[in-house]
Structure formats: C-alpha cells, structure tokens
Structure 1
Amino acid sequence: MDIQTPRLLVVDDEPEIRRLVSEILEDEGYEVTMAEDAGTARQLKAATNPDLILLDIWMPDTDGITLLKEWVAEDTLTCPVVMMSGHGSVESAVEATRLGAYDYLEKPLSMAKLLLIVERALEAGYLQHENAGLRQGAAIDIEPVGRSAAVARTKDQLKRLAQHDARVLFVGEAGTGKELYARFLHNNSAHRDGPFIDVAVGSISPENSAVEFFGKECGGKVYPGLLERAHKGTLFLGEIAGMDKETQLRLLSALESSSFLRVGGSEAVRVDVRVVASTRISLDEEVKSGRFRQDLYYLLNEVTIEIPPLRTHSEDVPALLGFYVDYFVNQDKLAFRRFSMAAQNFLRNYGWRGNVRELKNLVQRLMILGVGEDIELEEVKSALGTVMGDIGGTASSVPDFFNLPLKEARDHFEKAYLEYHFERTGGSVAKLSAAVGMERTHLYRKLHSLNIKL
C-alpha cells in the first residue's frame, strides 16, 4: 500500500474497554496497539511512534494527566492525544486539553463520537507535520504537462504573476489540476524556497478552524497553525467554496490585518505568506446566494486564472498518458506499459468528464490490473466501462488486490469506488456524498486518508 495505515495507541487499565475500542478502530482500518498502564504506554509510544494516543485518566501506576504532562515537558509528544474520562473526571479531561490534549471522550464511550474525534485528531496531527514536507511529496517539482496553446498560455500567465504578490484564484472544473498550477506559480515565485501548504478547506470543521488556521498556545508551548507553517511560502486553499461562514470571517480578519492571535495567545503574530485559492463552482453565485462573503471573495480574487478542461486541449492527451506511465513506474514501481496508437487516438476523442485526474486514475488502473507491455484499444474501452475490471468473473480473472490482506484490499476497493463516483458526479463533494450515502465531514476525511485529491 502506498498510504500508511494510521497507528493508534490505546491506553486504559480496563481490559473490556481496551478490547472494545481496539476492535472498533481495527474494523475502521486503523492499526491499534494497547497498553494497560503508564509504564507500558511509555514503552509502546517509543516503540511504535503512534499517530494518535487515546489516554485514560485513571490508571493504577501513573494517571493520564501526569503522563501527558511528562510527555509535554520532555517535548516527546509528536502526535495528538485524546483523553478518556469517567463520569467524575470530566473536569480533569478539560484541564488536559489546556495542557495540550486535542480533545476528550467521556465514558461510557459513544462509538460515533469516538470515530469522529479520532478522524479529526488524526487530521490535526497530519497538519502539524505539513511544514516538514509530508504533504508536499514528489509533486513539488512536477510542472503542468502539455504543449497546447491553452497550457502554454496558462503557464506564461503564471510565470508573470509569480513576480508579484497578487492573490490568485484558480477557477476550473474538478480534476483539471488547479493545485498543480498553484504549485507551478509557487515554484516560479520569490517564495519558491519556502513551504507549499495545501489544505482542503471543506475538511476543516468550524469548531476547529481557529486552531487549524492560527494555531494555539497552551502549557507554555506553541502549536503553529496553517498560516505560520506556510511562513515565507504559499498557502493554497483548495475548493474555497466549501468554507463555512465562521471560518470565512476568521480568515478575512487575518488577511485584512496581516496578523492574528493564536488561540490562547495574547501577542499578534505576523507572517509572510502568499495565499492562493481554487474553486470548481461559481463564487459569484455563492456570493449572491449569501453562502460566501463578498469581501473575502474580492480579497482572494485579485487575479483569476481559468484552468481549461482537458477536452479543450485534447492534443495533450498522448503526452499526459506517457507522463503518468513514467510517473507510476518511478513512484509506485509498477511495470512499464505503453498505449497503442489506436488507444491514444481513442482517448484523444474521449470526453474526460473527470479531466486530468480521470486520465491519471485510468492509467493507474490499467497499469495495476492489466498484463503485457502494450495497452490496446479494447482494454482501454473495458477499463472506462468499469471501475475495477471483471470482479464477477472467474477466479483466474479477479483483480490483483483480491490476493491482499482484507484491510489493504478494502482500501483499494474504496479508493477505486470513490474515484469512480467522484468522476461521475463531476467532482462535486456534495453530489458524491449523496451518491455514496456518506456524511460530508466523514467523506472529506475518507478522501484525504485515501489520498484522493479534491
């Protein structure tokens, strides 16, 4: 698997709670380690380097509050901590959040709340590590591919814009590569040596938006937010129309004053950040309907760059096919395959409802599931007509991932399933949510965990 399974450490002295929590989390695809006391928790934390710790307050040797203070004082806490408290210790759990815990769960545990908080805490942990480049990956040096007039014109505009600090709004259909063009702008600007931080703003819950954007101060420690982590670089706000009204107001205030206060802080923080954004839907309509603030729209939309859909520059399709074949050979170590001329000609005339993202997903499916060095026309047509090939066929024709362990196979299925419906719904998360029957907040987390770009 190219996506690492999140590692969770559950610390509780009650065997039944450890077993129940572990089973639920493992069923959701997480890797779970359990500790019955503080001593074991210390050892497992060092040995497993978890992405999240669920920590009970009352334990026989050292209580959870003391253990949390210990980790904070030692500066060895590299992941979020969620406290678990009994009825009489909620006040202590609230105190723990002041010391640096992400949140707390009250016993008896609500399984729905457990899963929601785990998802949000993991997302917060990933954001904390962005400045180290965890989300930049190999794409940072990739330029938009194509020699068509449309691609050349867009790249030329961005090279000229890169010499100025104007805020840019990238407009275009889902899957056109708006983030990639934003990276191209960053890489050609004076901010090129700084970080490029991208965030799907719709995945940030209103109650956590202040901490996520501005960071927080507690227990004498500073936890930087998105704006600080993007200092001297670029902050890319993906699909800005998904931002809730409360977060819009907070961001507007920070951008207008060029400063902000961390949550729990008293000193204004100033950063040097270029903020760029993207949208797949008309923000003019969102403003007219009252769903998006007009003042924030004008602030972010100093310059509009339209990213053309792939069907308008289909002459770039062969170059894109070759590029992504090489990409998956180098990045995922897949066996090399080449598209026949008939297949290339067919794909040049294909509608590409999901644009470049659909093309990339198609290449990946053909390289994973196909056999032989040549990709012929019939194989392409078959792949476009189904998500994962002939699952209902004979045992000899089942997809390769059927031979994987259940958790990995489920990730493969979910990724292909969601990508298929994402393309069919035109890249709309709202329509995708209705099509697959998943609540939007959970859906955003699932798309992020499967590395499906919005």
Structure 2
Amino acid sequence: MSGYKANILVIDDERDIRQLVQEILQDEGYVVYVAGNAEEARKMQCRHQLDLILLDIWMPDTDGITLLKEWTENAEFVTPVIMMSGHGTIETAVEATKLGAYEFLEKPLSLARLLLVVDRAIDAHMLERENAGLKQQLFAVHEPIGRSAFAERIKEQLKRLAQHDTKVMFVGESGTGKELYARFLHAHSGRKAGPFVDVSVGSIAPENAAVEFFGKELDGVVYPGLLERAHGGVLFLAEIAGMDAQTQLKLLSALESHSFLRVGGSEQVRVDVRVLAATRTLLETEVAAGRFRQDLYYLLNEVTMEVLPLREHGEDVPALLHFYIDYFVRYEKLAYRKFLMAAQNFLRNYTWPGNVRELKNLVQRLMILGAGEDIELTEVKAALGAVLGAASVVPQSNVPDFFQLSLKEAREQFEKAYLEYHFEKNSGNVAKLATAVGVERTHLYRKLHALNIKE
C-alpha cells in the first residue's frame, strides 16, 4: 500500500523499553502506540486498527502468553504478534509459537533484528490482507453470466454508462449481484486503472461514520478514509438506505464540492471519485418517510439500474451453474461435478429466494459434500430441503471436508454463514440483526467488518 504507515502497538511494563522501542519504530515511519499492562493493551487493541503487536511476556496483571491466547482464540483477531522477553526459555518460545505468535525476540533487543522482524511481519500481514481482498474479487470483473434478454440488455447498458461519470443507483433484491454489475461497469470505464472501494453502509456504526468516510488526522499522522482511498476510481456504497442522517448530510456536502475536512483536520481535501450505490429498499419510500435526504437521493440517482431477481430470468440458471462449477474447480481446487439435465431443468424453475448468492452457495455445498461426478435431481432437492425425508448427501470420505479445517477457520465459516442468513432475513438492518442474534451492536459492527459481510 503506497504511502501507508503501519500501526504498531508496543506492550511492556518497563517504561524505558516502551519509549525506546516507540522512538526507534517512529523513526522508521511507523505509527506507534504503547501500553504498560494488559488492561491498557486490550483498550488500545479495540480502539485502533493494528498491523502488528509487540508483546512482553512478563507483566504485572496478566502475562503476555495469557493475553496472546485470549486474542488468538477470537476469530476476529488477525494481527501478527511478536513476543518479547528478558527471561525467555525455549519452552516459552515454543508455547508462544503454538499459540500463533509470529516471532520471539529476546531482551536486550538487537536493534537490527527488531527492525528486520518488524518489517517482515508487517509485509506478511499486508500481503495476507491483499490476498484476502483478491480472493474475494477473483470473479468480480467477469462479464455478467447469461444470454437472457435481461442479461444482454444490462451488459449493453453498463458498457454505455461506463463511458460517462454518471452516478448510478443499482436497485434489486439481496443476492442479485449488484456489486458484480458495478464492478463490470468500472472495468469498462476510463477509471478502470483506479481503485474500486466498496463498503456496506449498514455495517458502519454511526459514531464511526465520519472517520470511515473522511479519515482523520491525529498528532500529525493522516489516516485516509473511504473517499480518499477511492480517489481516481469508484466508491461503491452498498445498502445506501442504512446511512444515518448526519452522515447523509456530510456526504452530500462532500460530493457536491468534491472536497471535505478530515476529522481533526483543518485543510480541505479534494477528491475525484465516481460514486455508485446499491439498495434493496425503495429509496422513494425512505425519502417520503423522512429517513433519507431527498437532495442526496437525487444526487446519487442520476441513472437507475434495475437488477432483476433470478426467478425472472431463469433461463440464465444453467450458465450460472456451469460458471460456478468452473470457479470452484479453479480457485477452490474442488473436484469437478456436473448437473444432470433433470437437475438443471428443476433449478431453472426454482424460485431462488436468495438469488444468485443462493445459487453459488448451493453449487459450493454440492461440490464439497457430494459424491461422484454427476449431480442428480434427488441430491439437489435434498440440498434445498425441497423433499422431506430425502436421503442425506454422502460425502466422499467418512468426515466432512470442513472437519479438516482449523477450529478458527471452521468457526469463521459458520459465523459468516449464520450472520449472512440473519442479515438478509432482517433486510440489512443492523439494529434488528443485533436483537435477532443476541449480540451487542458495537461488537456486531466489528464482527460484520471482520467477516466482510455486506449486501
């Protein structure tokens, strides 16, 4: 990330060591926070987006090994941790490594080794974040699949809209692929070399919205927000109806003037950004009810693109099935399977309440858990729950494939599927979602961000 200043937290109960390490790392251009005990460290870890933690083992309240274990048992925690100790033993180093520590440094610290290990840890972390983002977007700029009248019409319209900087509002049910169409438009535009920054508006807590969108300045350090990161490219706002009133006003002002103030800043920041938005909710209704600003609605809705539910262009289902089979074979290394004609015909006439997202998940489930190359109609019906008492799908081995994952990976898969289901059931409303799943809203916002759950 060009110009990015990694955030590092140094945790040590010895003030002199904290200050020394902080000064050394600040001289290297890092943003460095410090904590003298586990209680302070927990607060700092929650308050900041950290790229690396340097953690002393021996502390007065909670030792570093216990704190490391506490963090790594949390599925949301992805920050690399370098352990430090002046009384280290091989057994302690091994234990820290087993718990997920990136490296173990002995005191007194070698300056050269400290900087080398820190640099490597941050590079590895950034690469992991980049790969995670790429993995999510592997198929994102593929041409929309299908040859129905709808598919052909929307591809042609998007290519024409791509030649202009018109703001476009994608309207359609959840799971219809609104982000995919936005990415397709971007990939055919003059901005295609610029960034495509996507955000689920409903997963941003109102109290954090200003920093998220406009960034902040703190002690002379700049933390760019979504608008700055999208400079020269596209900012895609999913579920725009979930934006709170104060943020609506500030975003309206920023888009009209192409400039804004960072939180804590004193100078206007100018940006060149094309905004694309998406909603499953009729914004006219939200405007009439006073929940969405009329002026912002007209600003964002220069052109409306209606994205039809899959049940209204069922002739595209076979092509979508073939596409996702090829996708999972190529990128997830799953064994090839094919849908028999009876199964394809059944799915063409299925109602698809979850639209293309449901189709993708069905293909993945059948490829992971099914046996044999052919996917038959009975297996499809059983997977959809369409036939009561249908025979269970038999996996290719005695245990499901996800049993081979680490506990952390398996838990992440379950949490993502569980929250996506309830997110859709509650129409993308985070307040209702929090009540439905029994999770405090602030924690839920962090969870949605960590699992990249969006419209």
* TM norm. shorter chain > 0.5: yes
Cross-structure match for 1:62:
17
d(CA) in 1 for partners of 2:259, 2:335:
50
Q: Secondary structure at the match of 1:334?
A: coil
d(CA) in 2 for partners of 1:384, 1:425:
21
Kindly report which structure 2 residues correspond to 1:64-213, keeping only aligned pairs within 5 A, or say none. Answer: 67-77=21-31, 84=35, 135=133, 137-213=137-213
Q: Secondary structure at the match of 2:189?
A: coil
Tell me the amino acid that sits aligned with residue 400 of structure 1: D
Tell me the amino acid that sits aligned with residue 221 of structure 2: K
Cross-structure match for 1:381:
381
What is the CA-CA distance between 1:366 and the residue it aligns to? 0.9
Cα 1:393–1:426, aligned 2, differ >3 Å: closer, same or farther? farther
What is the CA-CA distance between 1:55 and the residue it aligns to? 4.3
Aligned residues with identical type, % of pairs: 63
Cross-structure match for 1:409:
410
- Quick check: 2:8–2:30 contact (8 Å CA) kept in 1? no
d(CA) in 2 for partners of 1:183, 1:407:
31
Cα 1:420–1:376, aligned 2, differ >3 Å: closer, same or farther? farther
1:319-375 per-residue CA deviation (whole Å, 9 max, x = no partner) reads 000000111111111111111111111111111000000001111111111121111
- Quick check: 2:369–2:396 contact (8 Å CA) kept in 1? no
What is the CA-CA distance between 1:284 and the residue it aligns to? 1.4
- Quick check: 1:131–1:229 contact (8 Å CA) kept in 2? no
Q: Which 10-residue stretch deviates more, 250-259 or 171-180? A: 250-259
d(CA) in 2 for partners of 1:374, 1:89:
57
Tell me the amino acid that sits aligned with residue 135 of structure 1: G
Q: What are structure 1's unaligned runs of at least 5 residues?
A: 1-50, 102-106
Cross-structure match for 1:321:
321
What is the CA-CA distance between 1:142 and the residue it aligns to? 1.5
- Quick check: 2:11–2:35 contact (8 Å CA) kept in 1? yes
Cα 1:432–1:352, aligned 2, differ >3 Å: closer, same or farther? farther
Q: Which 10-residue stretch deviates more, 337-346 or 282-291? A: 282-291
d(CA) in 2 for partners of 1:409, 1:201:
27
- Quick check: 1:311–1:355 contact (8 Å CA) kept in 2? yes
d(CA) in 1 for partners of 2:213, 2:129:
13
Cross-structure match for 1:6:
none
- Quick check: 2:379–2:393 contact (8 Å CA) kept in 1? no
d(CA) in 1 for partners of 2:142, 2:171:
20
- Quick check: 1:135–1:197 contact (8 Å CA) kept in 2? no
Cα 1:347–1:423, aligned 2, differ >3 Å: closer, same or farther? farther
- Quick check: 2:370–2:393 contact (8 Å CA) kept in 1? no
Cross-structure match for 1:43:
none
d(CA) in 2 for partners of 1:401, 1:88:
36
1:283-333 per-residue CA deviation (whole Å, 9 max, x = no partner) reads 112122222222211111111111000000000000000000111111111
Q: Which 10-residue stretch deviates more, 412-421 or 330-339? A: 412-421
d(CA) in 2 for partners of 1:155, 1:331:
25
d(CA) in 2 for partners of 1:424, 1:340:
31
1:5-59 per-residue CA deviation (whole Å, 9 max, x = no partner) reads xxxxxxxxxxxxxxxxxxxxxxxxxxxxxxxxxxxxxxxxxxxxxx975544743
d(CA) in 2 for partners of 1:362, 1:262:
44
Q: Secondary structure at the match of 1:138?
A: coil
State whether structure 2 residue 335 is matched by structure 1 residue 338: no
Cα 1:445–1:88, aligned 2, differ >3 Å: closer, same or farther? closer
Cα 1:135–1:363, aligned 2, differ >3 Å: closer, same or farther? same
Cα 1:441–1:323, aligned 2, differ >3 Å: closer, same or farther? farther
d(CA) in 1 for partners of 2:394, 2:322:
30
TM-score normalised by length of structure 2: 0.72
d(CA) in 1 for partners of 2:269, 2:396:
61
Q: Which 10-residue stretch deviates more, 318-327 or 423-432? A: 423-432
The Cα RMSD (Å) is 4.1
Cα 1:424–1:240, aligned 2, differ >3 Å: closer, same or farther? closer
d(CA) in 2 for partners of 1:61, 1:402:
47
Q: Secondary structure at the match of 1:210?
A: helix
Q: Which 10-residue stretch deviates more, 129-138 or 413-422? A: 129-138
Cα 1:420–1:261, aligned 2, differ >3 Å: closer, same or farther? closer
d(CA) in 2 for partners of 1:289, 1:184:
33
Q: Secondary structure at the match of 2:298?
A: helix
d(CA) in 1 for partners of 2:217, 2:311:
49
What is the CA-CA distance between 1:410 and the residue it aligns to? 2.0
Q: Secondary structure at the match of 2:304?
A: strand
Cα 1:185–1:138, aligned 2, differ >3 Å: closer, same or farther? same
Q: Secondary structure at the match of 1:336?
A: coil
Cross-structure match for 2:437:
436
Tell me the amino acid that sits aligned with residue 28 of structure 2: E
What is the CA-CA distance between 1:451 and the residue it aligns to? 4.4
- Quick check: 2:147–2:316 contact (8 Å CA) kept in 1? yes
Q: Secondary structure at the match of 1:269?
A: strand
Cross-structure match for 2:245:
245
What is the CA-CA distance between 1:412 and the residue it aligns to? 3.0
Q: Work out the number of aligned pairs and report it.
A: 381
What is the CA-CA distance between 1:222 and the residue it aligns to? 2.3
Cα 1:443–1:146, aligned 2, differ >3 Å: closer, same or farther? farther
d(CA) in 2 for partners of 1:165, 1:394:
49
Q: Which has the greater radius of gyration?
A: 2
Cα 1:421–1:206, aligned 2, differ >3 Å: closer, same or farther? closer
Cross-structure match for 2:94:
none
